[in-house]
Amino acid sequence: MGGPNLEVAKFGMYILFPIGIMYYFGTNLDGKFSVPDFWPRPEQTHRIPYEREEIKAELERLKARNLEMKRIREERERLEAIKEGRNS
């Protein structure tokens, strides 16, 4: 069996090991674990419109985009119908 020195050494290990792990992972986190350009910059994110004019402009933009997507979809469906009519 070990003596008191072994118990002191084990106790020291039990205390210092978690402290050492916390120190290693807790210091300089940005340098060790950061991924460059992980988060988008503010100019790359969506901005919520709060003013009446901004809201109207955003609604007009969305309506125009939806109409364009609808036009493209209808054109694609028309071309597919023509293609199916020829192949039949």
Residue 32 tokens read as 């060790």
Q: How far is CA 5 from CA 19, 43, 71, in A?
A: 21, 62, 83
Predicted TM-score (pTM) of the model is 0.47
pLDDT of 31 reads 79
Residue 69 tokens read as 């997507």
How confident is the prediction along the chain (88 residues), in pLDDT tens digits per residue? Answer: 678 899 999 999 999 999 999 998 888 887 777 888 888 888 888 888 999 999 999 999 999 999 999 999 999 999 999 988 876 5
